[in-house]
Structure 1
Amino acid sequence: MKFLAITLIVHRPDPITGVQKPTHDRFREVLDNALLAEELGFDGFGVGERHERPFISSSPTVVLSHVAALTKRIRLFTAVTTLSLLDPVRAYEDYATLDHLSNGRLDLIIGKGNGAAQRDLFHVTPEDQWDRNAESYEVFRKIWRQDKVTADTRFRPPLTDAEVWPRPYQRPVRVWHGSATSKESVDLAARYGDPLFSANVTHPIEPYAELIRHYRERWEHYGHDPAKIAIGAGTAGVHVAPTSQEALAAYRPVFESNLAFFKKAGLPVVFETLEDFVERSSALIGSPQQVIDKVHRYHEQFGHTVVHLHADASGLTESQHRASLELFQSKVAPVLRREIPDPPFVWGPVLPAPPLTQESVHV
């Protein structure tokens, strides 16, 4: 199993102290968290893309390029690239450049995106958002694979033998499809034989498990080998402590503050108590053994081989957050790596096989 640390770069007052960091400091915190993730042995670091308050993750390529310059090993993820809002040609140019600068450490997670404000900002309607996402991905995918592209598009000017530069480093980049509530993203992933990443954050396990089952059915419908399926899943929060009592005590103020925020903002509340949140959500809060057991319970339903954790402290103190991630990597991750398989592909640059030489041919 592989583990990612992911941030959506939420920029609002700390849920406990009420203090909001300056924008500059918040970005520096993201970079520090990326360095910590590599130091602790995480397999990937992801940055979201949102174009509305309270997020400042509107430019993930810029942030990930800076992370690429500061790190050496960790793979870089988008979480998610909102192709329904973007020109696929411009998106390709940005991500192909990032891919070169990172020496092929880029993985994309794409999706239509959430939020009415960002949709309005780009003049995208709910009626055409899925069609835009599918068309943008199809064009993006062609550009990554073909030196000249022709595409009769609805949502951007058509392309005729278009050349887009730079040509890519990875051939092709791996693209995951973010899945939250709709079968459209699941079907798009299955159609192209791409891996799926379940949001797995807001609700209990059932609706996410149902979408993953649909993905497996559609995967076989399109004629792909079931052994090549790869699934990732998110988590609603993380705090690992030596005992469950310590974990709950540290996380309770965070949960209660977030609950008050949701109610004040008129947002739906799914889990009314911390105990219910720990039991029925995907949050990994508890002792190392409790967290191991919970990931296994989700794996039984999902068959996933990648998990993402929050890169941000999100109301915990910096020392609490670091201690939690250290404990996760020392006591939880080694067990899960042994007991749950990795994705069915090399965790590294997607490069074409070198041509056969005379020395490598055995007669």
Structure 2
Amino acid sequence: MKFLLSTLIVHAPHPITGEVTSTSRRFAQVVEKALLAEELGFDGFGVGERHERPFISSSPTVVLSHLAALTRTIRLFTTVTTLSLLDPVRAYEDYATLDHLSGGRLELIIGKGNGSAQRELFDVTPEDQWDRNAESYEVFRTIWRQDKVTVDTRFRPPLRDAEVWPRPLQQPVRVWHGSATSQASVDLAARYGDPLFSANVTHAIEPYAELIRYYRERWAHYGHDPARLAVGSGTAGYHARPNSQDAVKAWEPAYAGYLAMQNRLGTAPVFPTLEDYVERSSALIGSPQQVIEKVHRYHEAFGHSVVNILADPLGVPDDEQRASLELFQSQIAPVLRRDLPDPPWPWAPALAPEAPALASEAPALAPEAPVLAPEKPTEQELVP
């Protein structure tokens, strides 16, 4: 089993104190967390994409390019690239460039994205968002594989013998399809024989398990080799302590933030108490043994081989979170790596023929580049 650490770069007040860090400091925290993920031995680090409050992750390629210069071995994920909002030609240019800058460590998770504010910003409607997502992916996929592209399109000008540069380093790049609620993204993944990544955050296990079952059915329908099927899964949070009671106590501020979010949305919480949240949500909260048992329980339903852990549990102090992540790598990950399978392919990149055989042979990328300075907060932007 492989493990990712990822962030949507939420920029929101502390759930207890109401303190808001500066934008610069928030980006610095992302850099620090990516470096920590590589130091501790995580297999990947992901940066999401959102174009509305309270997120500042509108430019994941910029953030990931910076991380590519500061890291050496960890794979860099998009979690997720919102192709329903993007021009696929421009998205290809950005990600092919990032592919080279990272030495072939790029891996994409795509999805339509969510939220009415970002749909309005890009003039996308609920009625056409799935069609846009499918078309953008099909164009993006074709450009990645072909030097010249001719394709008719609905949502952007058609392409006629178009050449798009630079040509990529990986051939092809691996693309996962992020799935939260819709069979449309699941079917798109199965149609192209691509891996699926279940969001697995908002609800209990059942609706996500049902979508994964549907994915397996569609995978067989399209005639793909069952041995090549792969599923990843998100989590609603992570915090482990040697003593489970201490882990649950430390998660109280994060749970308070969850309740506040539900209140702002005007919806009843899916998990009305912290105890229910720890028991029925996908959050991995407790002792190492409890975390291991919960991942096993989800694996029985999902058959997944990759787990994504959120990098930013609001309200947990940095030193406590670091200790929790160290505990994950020392006592939890080794057991799960031993017990549960890896994805059915090499984790290293598939480089194009003219590229170096190994990512480590690519030119060194500024190892001395500075991490953003951890200055004290200067902005007090209250984010709802």
- TM-score normalized by the length of structure 1: 0.96
- Note the C-alpha offset of 1:262: 2.1
Q: What corresponds to 1:86 in structure 2?
A: 86
Corresponding residue for 1:297?
Answer: 297
- Deviation readout 1:185-236 (Å, 9 max, x if unpaired): 0000000000000000000000000000000000010000011011000000
**Alignment partners' CA distance in 2, 1:289 and 1:331:** 9
Residue of structure 1 in register with 2:153 after alignment: 153
State the distance in 2 between where 1:173 and 1:267 align.
39
1:308 Cα deviation from its structure 2 partner? 0.5
Q: CA deviation at 1:353?
A: 6.9
Matched residue of 1:85: which SS? Answer: coil
Q: What's the % identity of the aligned pairs?
A: 75
- Amino acid of the residue matched to residue 311 of structure 1? A
Residue 133 (structure 1) aligned with residue 164 (structure 2): no
Aligned equivalents of 1:224, 1:51: Cα separation in 2: 35
Cα distance in 2 for partners of 1:248, 1:133 equals: 39
Paired residue for 1:359? none
Q: Which amino acid aligns with 1:282?
A: S
Aligned mates of 2:353, 2:227 — CA distance in 1: 21
SS at structure 1 position matched to 2:93: helix
- Does 2:240 match 1:237? no
Provide runs of 4+ in structure 1 moved above 6 Å: none
**Structure 2 equivalent of residue 108 of structure 1:** 108
The whole-number CA distance in structure 2 between the counterparts of 1:245 and 1:337 is 26
Q: Distance in 2 between matches of 1:270 and 1:237?
A: 15
Per the alignment, residue 358 of structure 1 pairs with: none
Aligned pairs for 1:47-58 within 5 A: 47-58=47-58
Counterpart residue number, 1:192: 192
- Equivalent residue for 1:29? 29
Secondary structure, counterpart of 2:84 in structure 1? helix
- Which residue of the partner structure matches residue 263 of structure 1? 263
CA contact (8 A) 2:254 2:313 kept: no
Partners in 2 of 1:210 and 1:30 — Cα distance? 33
Change (3 A) 1:170 1:46: same
2:339 is matched with 339
Q: CA deviation at 1:312?
A: 1.6
Which string of whole-angstrom CA distances, capped at 9 and with x for unpartnered residues, describes residues 275-300 of structure 1?
A: 10011100000000000000000000
* Structure 2: distance between partners of 1:313 and 1:251: 8
Give distance in 2, aligned partners of 1:18 and 1:157: 46
Cα pair 2:242 2:287 within 8 Å, conserved: yes
Query: Following the alignment from structure 2 to structure 1, what is the Cα–Cα distance between the partners of residues 67 and 18?
Result: 28
Equivalenced residues, count: 354
Alignment CA distance shift 1:353-1:217 (3 Å): farther
Counterpart residue number, 1:14: 14
Q: Deviations over 1:98-137 (max 9, x none)?
A: 0000000000000000100000000001110000000000
**1:268 positional shift:** 4.1
Match of residue 142 from structure 1: 142
Greater mean alpha carbon deviation, residues 311-320 or residues 35-44:
311-320
Rounded Cα–Cα distance in structure 2 between residues aligned with 1:113 and 1:265: 18
The residue number in structure 1 matching 2:378 is: none
The farther-off stretch of 320-329 and 248-257 is 248-257
Structure 1: distance between partners of 2:8 and 2:337:
26
Higher RCO (CA 8 Å, separation ≥ 6 residues): 2
Q: Which residue number in structure 2 is paired with residue 329 of structure 1?
A: 329
Note the C-alpha offset of 1:348: 1.3
1:169 and 1:268 mapped to 2: Cα distance?
Answer: 47
Q: Return 143-152 or 8-17, whichever deviates more.
A: 8-17
Q: Given that residues 2 and 306 in structure 2 are in contact (C-alpha distance below 8 angstroms), is that contact kept between their aligned partners in structure 1?
A: yes
Structure 1 gaps, min length 5: 355-363
SS for the counterpart of 1:245 is helix
Alpha-carbon shift at residue 57 of structure 1 (Å): 0.2
Letter in 2 for 1:49: E
1:298–1:92 Cα change, 3 Å? same
Cα displacement (A) at 1:311: 1.1
Q: Distance in 1 between matches of 2:320 and 2:84?
A: 38
Deviation of 1:250 after TM superposition, in Å, equals: 1.0
Q: How many angstroms does 1:261 deviate by?
A: 3.6
> 2:250, 2:21 → 1: CA distance?
22
Q: What residue identity is the alignment partner of 1:74?
A: I
Cα distance in 2 for residues equivalent to 1:59 and 1:117: 16
Match of 2:177 in 1: 177
SS at match of 2:109: strand
Query: Does the 8 Å contact 2:253/2:314 carry over to 1?
Result: no
Q: d(CA) in 2 for partners of 1:265 and 1:305? A: 33
1:213 is matched with: 213
Moved more, 308-317 or 237-246: 308-317
Partners of 1:256 and 1:311 in 2: how far apart? 18
Aligned to 2:286: 286
Paired amino acid for 1:125: T
Residue equivalent to 2:358? none
Residue 52 of structure 1 deviates from its aligned partner by 0.3
For structure 2, which runs of at least 5 residues remain unmatched after alignment? Answer: 355-384
